[in-house]
Amino acid sequence: MMKTPRIAARSPAVAMIDACWAASVFTLFPAMFPGPLGQSLAGEGLRQGRWSLSIHDIRDHGLGRHRAVDDTPAGGGPGMVIRADVLAASLDASIATDDPRPRLLMSPRGRPLTQSRVRALAQGPGAVLICGRFEGFDERVITARGLEEVSIGDYILSGGEIASLVVLDACVRLLPGVMGKEASGEDESFERGLLEYPHYTRPREWEGRTIPEVLLSGDHARIRAWREAEALRITRERRPDLLETARKD
Ligand code: SAH
């Protein structure tokens, strides 16, 4: 293969930095970021400019001497609600009205995140992620600023920060150059509507347990067929709902 001249090797990287996948996070706990995403491959990708992260403290737009962001729920009931005017002021100060990125509000009421949504997000320009606390946000800001509620699963977290780290981690690993070919994805759970087949590595025998003979056979057609059958078996056992969805599609 011909050696690529240095300058040519470098210019696409520069272009990528200009237009890198951009995340903007709105939170009451800015110190929680980048958190785990500053480590490992996501962290290296961040340092290399393959994606960017800007953190906005919602409290910067809080009201009064105490920078209040929340108030008691209209109609009564427990907990506190984050004010519409405070979140709107925070968003408006940093996100242009023509910003093409989806504005995702972390919320257990949202549409559950799926791998296909993650893939679509990763292919786009980035995302604005808004993290709730307490009982969540005044409904009016959700409508007025076109926020899309996204859930990471049917359970309640204490805040949206971990949820947005989940969304970001899932997206960032798919960005070009962040992971090696592992993230190419074709074989991974969910990518084909199936859970993944089991993996093995050395040693060949461990605590009296061996590796399925077919995987040591070198016969790639047989290996592929075995993996396919195992993926189907595991999906049928654990997540029959995925097979239902795949059939409908
Ligand atoms: N009262 C709300 C829950 C508030 S939990 C309700 O019953 O729907 C506080 C914050 O944590 C939420 O505003 C949201 O930002 C975040 N959060 C909690 N569970 C979540 C989930 N499953 N997915 C995404 N975000 C979640």
Distance 107 CA to ligand 1 centre (A): 4
Homologous superfamily assigned to 186-248? tRNA(m1g37)methyltransferase, domain 2 (1.10.1270.20)
CB 112 within 8 A of CB 87: no
Q: How does DSSP classify residue 52?
A: E
Alpha carbon distance 104, 31 (integer Å): 20
Label residue 218 left, alpha or beta by phi (over 0 means left) and psi (-120 to 50 means alpha). left
**150 or 183, greater pLDDT:** 150
Q: What is the pLDDT of residue 17?
A: 46
Q: Is 156 in the pocket of ligand 1 (CB under 6 A)?
A: yes
Q: Is 27 in the pocket of ligand 1 (CB under 6 A)?
A: no
Q: What is the pLDDT of residue 9?
A: 36
pLDDT 10s digits, 128-174: 999 999 999 999 999 999 999 999 999 999 999 999 999 999 999 99
Q: Which helix (H) or strand (E) holds 18?
A: helix 6-18
Residue type at position 102: P
- The CATH 1.10.1270.20 portion of the chain extends over 186-248
Homologous superfamily assigned to 21-172? SPOUT methyltransferase, trefoil knot domain (3.40.1280.10)
β-strand partners of 27: 57
- The CATH 3.40.1280.10 portion of the chain extends over 21-172
**Crossing angle of helices 40-47 and 160-172, rounded to 10°:** 80
Q: Which of 117, 248, 111, 116 is nearest to 192 (CA)?
A: 116
Q: Which atom of ligand 1 sits closest to the CA of residue 136?
A: 13
Mean pLDDT of the chain: 92
Q: What is the pLDDT of residue 213?
A: 98
CB 147 within 8 A of CB 104: yes
